[in-house]
Amino acid sequence: MDETRVEKPRLSGKPASAIIAACIVAAPFSAAQPAAADTLPPLASTVPAAGAEIIGEQWLTSRTLQLTVATEAFTAPVPVEVTFPNNYDSAGNWPVTYYTAGTNHDETTFRAAYNGEAVTASYPSIVVSPRGDSGYWSDWFNLGAGGPPKYETFVASQLVPLIDANFRTIPDRAHRAIMGESMGGYGTLMLAARHPDEFAAAASLSGAPDSNWAGGMAAISASPTLQGATPDSIYGPRATEEVRWRGHNPTDLAANLSSVDLQVFTGNGILDATRETGAADSSGCSIEAGIVRPESLSLHQRLLTLGIPHAWQDIPWGCHSPALFDYEMAQAVQRFQTVFSQPASTTSHSFDYSSIEPSFTTFGWHITADPGRAPEFIDIEGVSANGLTITGSGNTTITTPPLFQGAKPVTLTIDGIPTSVVQPDKNGTITFTVRQGAPDAQQQYTIGAATNRTTSTVVITR
């Protein structure tokens, strides 16, 4: 395979302790090293994007290219494997599937441990697998200091545009999916829930998607120690920072997933001797039965309560093992292929979204919380060009997407009272403020905290 295989043409004018150990250790593997690899200089057409830059390349197989990416999200450059479809050389652009690996696994897991190239032999998608270490695919709180590592920022905000800028992708949400095993299953659904405008489909392969359960709490608390960091570096101690945990927990954020095609897989913790063999596979039975299945069931029940369609696969065998992950992965990519083949909807849709961030953007709506507000959820519901319902405290500023191009001034009615007439800007957006009393000064979910969130309904009339 030569260098021209991965050159991207220009698109639209742009350049181409024991219980804790059981909780946090994913199925073991030994990554086979390639027999030969060619080291290539950076491609002439490689361009930086969103604060990330490709600074090195190495072919590992005839289909998989290892990138070295420099980014301030980490203290050192990080490796990312990109596996191309077998006929990538043919004309046209391709969907992209992101793979988030489990605890102590890395960018090689998809290819070297779980037969990723064989599973995707006929899968019409590029597969991108970044290194996740034991970081739970999150930006770390670092006991209030913030800063690196920032796994979420890297994947959702930097890697996606970097891949789109440098390879022949179809650079839209309708052709982008994400999947992962174990810790990576949590990461997959967390990323999809916090960024539903980035991913059309998501699959948790024996993930643990409800950190309100003891198993999930223990794993997240202890995992940073595997990287030499202090326990609870990811979200902070649960007792004092519960809102940060909930703000990343897929089950708490389930309403955000209403527009994502979801697959939730779990085994039952019973070894299938015809598929799973050896001590390594049997050691994962307690993990699958005692942590993965109850947490996955919790998410499943939450999705049912919310009326959110999803594919629930409660597999009648399986321990936390490579054999189970391979089986789940093969099912997941089949459904992804169906999603990619469906035409993207051209109609606008209403959506619900919850976030604890002081400022966030989703589906083109930008929300900024009152700067005096302590960490708490803002919930927006029924969001559309006709308005929304918002629950929060303080003064929240909202900027719409460009929905009002060429329109006359629009009238805002809040809780049944006409409040203002707003002229759209030249791009067709409007900005307004919803006032919901004094901002809460105490962090939500903190023991003894007094919070007073208010719900307001905004109607936009053109």
For the chain, 462 residues long, give each residue's pLDDT as a single digit of tens.
333 344 443 233 333 333 334 444 444 333 333 333 344 444 557 899 999 999 999 999 999 999 999 999 999 999 999 999 999 988 799 999 999 999 989 999 999 999 899 999 999 999 999 999 999 999 999 999 999 999 999 999 999 999 999 999 999 999 999 999 999 999 999 999 999 999 999 999 999 999 999 988 999 999 999 999 999 999 999 999 999 999 999 999 999 999 999 999 999 999 999 999 877 788 899 999 999 999 999 999 999 999 999 999 999 999 999 999 999 999 999 999 999 998 766 445 799 999 999 999 999 999 999 999 999 999 999 999 999 999 999 999 999 999 998 878 999 999 999 989 999 999 999 999 999 999 999 999 999 888 999 999 999 998
Phi first, then psi, for residue 294 (nearest 5°) are -65, -35
Q: Residue 142, SS3?
A: helix
The whole-number pLDDT of residue 1 equals: 37
Strands (E), 216-336: 261-266, 311-314
What is the C-alpha to C-alpha distance for residues 142 and 136, in angstroms, rounded to an integer?
13
DSSP code at position 414: E
Q: Buried (b) or exposed (e) across 425-435, using 16+ Cβ within 10 A?
A: eeeebbebbbe
What is the C-alpha to C-alpha distance for residues 428 and 295, in angstroms, rounded to an integer?
43
DSSP code at position 31: P
Q: Residue 242, SS3?
A: helix
Q: Residue 55, SS3?
A: strand
DSSP code at position 254: G
Helix axes 214-222 and 293-306, enclosed angle (nearest 10): 120
- Single-letter amino acid, residue 396: T
Q: Residue 406, SS3?
A: coil
Place of tokens 């697998």: 129
